[in-house]
Amino acid sequence: MSTMKEKKLPQRRCIGCGETKLKRDLIRVVRDPGGVVSVDPTGKKSGRGAYLCKNPACLKRAHKTRQLARNLDCPIPDDLIETLSEAIAQHE
Ligand SMILES: [Zn+2]
């Protein structure tokens, strides 16, 4: 019984509220090596990533405080914010 290994679930920090949560409970935004920013539902795209709670308030805050742009190190297009809002709304 003592040999059973505990599986550690990956955790990431939400750039909106700053809380650390399970990676699967967050939405990943990624800037790919070509500089294109997109929502990454699989969490497996390569590139620079940022994580957000599935909470519209966190998205709003991350955008307003420019945390999103800062974390991805590039400007955030408005349509990405819309795409993110829609992705978050689907989880509510
Ligand atoms: Zn959050």
Which residues, including other chains, have CB under 8 Å from residue 86's CB and lie 6 or more apart? none
Distance 52 CA to ligand 1 centre (A): 6
pTM of the model: 0.87
Distance 1 CA to ligand 1 centre (A): 37
Helix boundaries (H) for the chain: 56-64, 67-72, 78-90
List the end-to-end C-alpha distance of the chain, in Å, as a whole number: 39
Q: What pLDDT, on the 0 to 100 scale, is given for residue 2?
A: 52
User: Checking phi first, is residue 21 left (phi over 0); if not, alpha (psi -120 to 50) or beta?
Assistant: beta
pLDDT tens track, the chain, 92 positions: 556 677 889 999 999 999 999 999 999 999 999 999 999 988 889 999 999 999 999 999 999 999 999 999 999 999 999 999 999 998 76
Q: What pLDDT, on the 0 to 100 scale, is given for residue 5?
A: 72
